[in-house]
A = this chain, B = another copy of it.
Amino acid sequence: MKIGELAKRCGLSAHTLRYYERIGLLPYADRDRSGQRDYDASILDWLEFLRRLKTTGMPIRDMLRYAQMRADGDETFSERGALLRKHRERVRTHLADLEACLRSLDKKIAFYGKAKQRTDADDGLHEHEDEDTAPRPGA
């Protein structure tokens, strides 16, 4: 598979795939006689794994650490596990925060829905103090 097709399949641009290889997030791809990258389909699994790390907010430098550890072999096994567990904790925390934000957003939208696009939105306040301040939990 050439880079164009891989790009289509994984959803990243060819530019980005080359960039990932340059920084070490992707292994150096074999080149055909004319120097073009020739990928094995298995690379898609790694790219999907990277996508999940990225989606969950892991910075590239940490993915790089993981990739490097992997390249370093078995002796880094438990360290890799630890990295992932630590990351999972951050993800869980973030997820909880997001859910709380979503509930606040729901409340605010409910307010917008109820208050019938009229002045009463401003339940008194003006300027920068209206309903936006929302019913806050704590603080």
Report the minimal beta-carbon distance from A105 to chain B, rounded to whole angstroms.
5
Contacts of A99 in B (CB 8 A): 95
Taking a contact as CB atoms under 8 Å apart, the answer to whether A46 and B91 are in contact is no
User: Which residues in A have some Cβ–Cβ distance to B below 8 Å?
Assistant: 24-28, 42-46, 48-49, 52, 55-56, 67-68, 70-71, 73-74, 77-78, 80-81, 84-85, 87-88, 91-92, 94-95, 97-99, 101-102, 104-106, 108-109, 112-113, 115, 117-119, 121-122, 125, 127-130, 132-139
> Given A105-B87, A118-B77, A139-B28 in contact, is the A55-B98 Cβ separation under 8 Å?
yes
Q: Which chain B positions have C-beta within 8 A of A138?
A: 24, 27-28, 68, 71
Residues of B within 8 A of A46 (CB): 128-129, 132-135
